[in-house]
């Protein structure tokens, strides 16, 4: 079984396949279900040791750190949305602080 960054690279590849197969007007979504039942839909994800840095931004920056061990389930699906969320794995680019 894949672990760490390798797992998330595979999730990224599966996201791309779901996005390519989605019907017109539908966009792929990656949803993380946490151990406490909450869900997150990150646009980007960066693996940092035992933590995941999740970018939940839509219009304003929204960054959440989650322990990788707290992720109970990963769901990748397509749904009808006007604006695609997108998903990527790698370094999250944030604007520099003045």
Dihedral sign of CA atoms 16, 87, 68, 33 in order = negative
Residue-range domain boundaries for the chain: 4-89
90 or 11, higher pLDDT:
11
The answer to whether 88 and 12 have CB atoms below 8 angstroms apart is yes
Tokens of 83: 């604006």
**Which residues, in sequence order, are CB contacts of 83 under 8 Å at separation 6+?**
27, 58
pLDDT digits (tens, 9 = 90+) for 20-76: 999 988 989 999 999 999 999 999 899 888 899 999 987 788 999 999 999 999 999
> What integer pLDDT is reported at residue 54 of this predicted model?
93
Does residue 88 carry a pLDDT above 60? yes
Task: State residue 81's pLDDT score.
Answer: 72
Of the options 1.10.4030, 2.30.30, 3.40.50, 2.60.40, the CATH number for the domain spanning 4-89: 2.30.30
Please tell me the predicted confidence (pLDDT) of residue 14: 94
Give Cα separations from 22 to 17, 26, 39, 40, 66 (angstroms): 9, 6, 22, 21, 28
């Amino acid at each position: 079984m894949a672990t760490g960054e390798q797992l998330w690279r595979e999730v990224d590849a599966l996201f791309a396949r779901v996005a390519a197969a989605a019907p017109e007007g539908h966009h792929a979504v990656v949803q993380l279900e946490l151990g406490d039942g909450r869900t997150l839909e990150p646009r980007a994800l960066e693996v940092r040791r035992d933590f995941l840095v999740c970018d939940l931004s839509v219009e304003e920056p929204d960054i959440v750190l989650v322990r990788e061990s707290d992720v109970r389930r990963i769901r990748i699906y397509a749904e009808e949305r006007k604006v695609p969320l997108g998903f990527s794995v790698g370094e999250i680019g944030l604007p520099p602080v003045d």
